[in-house]
Amino acid sequence: MMEEKSKIHFILVAGFSSDNQEVLGLKNILEGVGYSASAVSFYGPKIINDFTHLTEKDCVAHISKVVSDVSTRYEKVFGIGISLGGALLLEHAKKNSNLAGIVSIGTPFRLKNKRLMNFGKKIFPVLYPIWRQLQKIERWRLNPLGAAPVMVDFMERRFLENLESITTPVLFLHSRRDGVTDYLALEEYLPRIASVKKEVIFFKNGNHVISYNPLIAEEAFNFFDLTGLREKTLELSSALSENIGAALEFEKMKYDQK
């Protein structure tokens, strides 16, 4: 089993945040059971002083480069992305087949809070110069607000196009209490994805960035027919119970492509 694990790599892509911290917990879980994993931001390793200069092409190219580089060293590469991170992995899969599978958490097929976003667009020119200065305080980990207009446009336009070209196995994880993206949109867009193997797990609790209960990783492993995680996840669940809080309740929905 260890020999098989050495041939597998997981690429973990954070959502709309200034760093990769939100996927480091999952990285530790995967490495703890002997798998190789890398945690990346949605925009790449470079330092960006002004996120208004970031483009959707930059982000898509970044993800494609990471997958391409890793694919030369491992037989199987899986991608796990949160929100925007999941969208970028799916965007990559439209034209590439070098991912063995994708887990997309809180997929942004439809964004909520449209009124708030419209208000944000109006005050953006005034707010951003101040935000940009505050963003230099790294410990605050402020979201890269300057990239918001471009990334929202990507999620509402380009990302929703050509979903029929995706054939990579995909597991969608989504909380019914997600306050950022609408879980009901999965019913509309899932049929358009051509993947023969696709499944949805709806969580009855949690939020947009579902807490990294190790049992979530186990569901991904089950979907990809990988083994060797159950004992470790149960051990980690017990050890982290105080931080995790209530156990996540979920229901699965398999989708048969017609």
The parent domain of residue 194 ranges over 2-254
Residue with tokens 């991904």: 220
Q: Where residue 209 sits, what CATH number does that domain have?
A: 3.40.50.1820
Mean pLDDT check: name the lowest of 72-81, 95-104, 105-114, 230-239.
230-239
Residue of higher predicted confidence among 25 and 37: 37
If pLDDT is split at 50, 70 and 90, which confidence band does 191 have? very high
Amino acid at residue number 70: V
Q: If you average pLDDT over each of 119-133, 181-195, 231-245, which comes out highest?
A: 181-195
- Ramachandran class of 43: left when φ > 0, alpha when ψ lies in -120 to 50, beta otherwise: alpha
Q: In the chain, how many domains are there?
A: 1
Distance, in Å, from the CA atom of 220 to the CA atom of 137, rounded to the nearest integer, reads: 35
- For residue 243, pLDDT over 60 is answered with no
Distance, in Å, from the CA atom of 159 to the CA atom of 169, rounded to the nearest integer, reads: 17
Distance, in Å, from the CA atom of 54 to the CA atom of 106, rounded to the nearest integer, reads: 23
Non-local (6+) Cβ contacts of 144 within 8 A are 16, 17, 18, 43, 48, 51, 54, 135
Mean pLDDT check: name the lowest of 24-38, 94-108, 172-186, 214-228.
214-228
* pLDDT score of 193: 96
Non-local (6+) Cβ contacts of 126 within 8 A are none
- CA–chain centroid gap for 167, Å, is 18
* pLDDT score of 32: 84
Closest CA to 98 of 131, 72, 80, 59: 72
* pLDDT score of 211: 53
How many beta carbons lie within 10 A of that of residue 53, not counting itself?
11
Mean pLDDT of 199-224: 74
Non-local (6+) Cβ contacts of 27 within 8 A are 10, 12, 37, 38, 39
- CA–chain centroid gap for 130, Å, is 29
- Contact 87/107 with Cβ under 8 angstroms? yes
